């Protein structure tokens, strides 16, 4: 699990996240950490992938931090 305290904004992250946010099939999300915060559904991070897509990921759903 990615810790919001230990991960710096601007660093590269590599995590496994459920496909479409709820499935048992995992996808790898790699990119630069843009933002971290706490919303109404808990803590989250925002990652910009190498292709330019921006993803918002819930920390409670991240299965494994790879780097």
CATH label of the domain that carries residue 33? 2.30.30
Contacts of 42 by beta carbon, 8 Å cutoff, 6+ apart: 58, 59, 60
pLDDT in tens, 7-66: 789 999 999 999 987 788 999 999 999 999 999 999 999 999 999 999 999 999 998 766
Q: Is residue 7 part of a domain?
A: no
Q: What residue numbers bound the domain in which 36 lies?
A: 12-65
Looking at residue 22, its pLDDT comes to: 79
Cα dihedral 42, 46, 51, 52, rounded to 10, equals 130
- Tally of structural domains, the chain: 1
pTM, 2 dp: 0.80
Looking at residue 5, its pLDDT comes to: 47
CA 25, CA 45: separation in Å to the nearest integer? 20
Q: Is residue 41 part of a domain?
A: yes
Does residue 2 register a pLDDT over 70?
A: no
CA 7, CA 66: separation in Å to the nearest integer? 13
Q: Is residue 2 part of a domain?
A: no
Q: Is residue 26 part of a domain?
A: yes
Number of H helices, E strands in the chain: 0, 5
Beta bridge partners of 33: 47
């Amino acid at each position: 699990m990615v810790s919001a305290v230990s991960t710096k904004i601007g660093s590269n992250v590599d995590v496994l996240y459920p496909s479409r946010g709820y499935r048992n099939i995992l996808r790898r999300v790699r990119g630069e950490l843009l933002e971290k915060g706490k919303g109404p559904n808990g803590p989250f991070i925002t990652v910009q992938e190498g292709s330019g897509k921006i993803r918002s990921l819930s920390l409670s759903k991240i299965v494994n931090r790879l780097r």
